[in-house]
Amino acid sequence: DAKTTQPPSMDCAEGRAANLPCNHSTISGNEYVYWYRQIHSQGPQYIIHGLKNNETNEMASLIITEDRKSSTLILPHATLRDTAVYYCIVRPPNAGNNRKLIWGLGTSLAVNP
Amino acid sequence: DGGITQSPKYLFRKEGQNVTLSCEQNLNHDAMYWYRQDPGQGLRLIYYSQIVNDFQKGDIAEGYSVSREKKESFPLTVTSAQKNPTAFYLCASSAGGDYSYNEQFFGPGTRLTVL
């Protein structure tokens, strides 16, 4: 199963865009990229997912490179409430895929006033 | 509001005692999961259930037990056989069973401390 590499921590100024990178160089053609975040002492929250095309929703945008070996989660206007740990996860397509997710340590994003 | 509830938020138990953590969802989801989170480690899967009256061991099931008698409920019992029970426990659910690409919804977690 493909694993991901994320920087352990990042800082961002409030109101600016936060760009969180993720490397998944061993991803296979039918594996999705999922992003979750976890605010301190709470359960993780789903943000967005994608396969090949860039995706956008009310929370964030996901940019996946053409070779699919890396992706970037973009929070367009970060607020203090976006301070959290962000997890990038590659999801295998075979049966039981939720239970095969590999949760790494993610990126701890600090949004500063 | 639909969602997942876990209770209690904080739980303290003496060593050697069994303790049951509650997880309830009103999302009508088929699949439910229990994870454990320790400092410096990612989430690790304890047990999962794809459907009522069925559940399977995850990666670290030793010392834990579960039941799935109702679709909305998936309680986790931490037994005295679990060597290091102090941790943050997270319950999750997802729609369409375990074979779909649907995302997981997580509860707020229960922080268990064994004294």
* Alpha carbon distances (Å) from B98 to A53, A84, B8, B73, B75: 24, 27, 27, 16, 18
Closest CA in chain A for residue B48: A99
Q: Which chain A residues contact residue B99 at CB under 8 A?
A: 95-97
Contact B4 A43 (CB under 8 A): yes
Ordered per-residue pLDDT tens for chain B, 115 residues: 669 999 999 999 999 899 999 999 999 999 999 999 998 888 999 999 999 999 999 999 999 999 999 999 999 999 998 989 999 999 999 987 666 778 899 999 999 999 8
Cis preceding-peptide flag for B8 (omega within 30 of 0): yes
Contact B33 A49 (CB under 8 A): no
What's the CA gap between B111 and A90, in Å, rounded? 27
Measured between CB atoms, which of A34, A95, A103 is closest to B43?
A103
What's the CA gap between A7 and A12, in Å, rounded? 14
Q: Which chain A residues contact residue B108 at CB under 8 A?
A: 42-43
Scan for tokens 């998944």, then name that residue.
Answer: A24
pLDDT digits (tens, 9 = 90+) for A46-98: 999 999 989 999 999 999 999 999 999 999 999 999 999 999 999 877 656 67
Chain centroid offset of residue B42 CA: 15
Chain centroid offset of residue B64 CA: 10
Contact B101 A102 (CB under 8 A): no
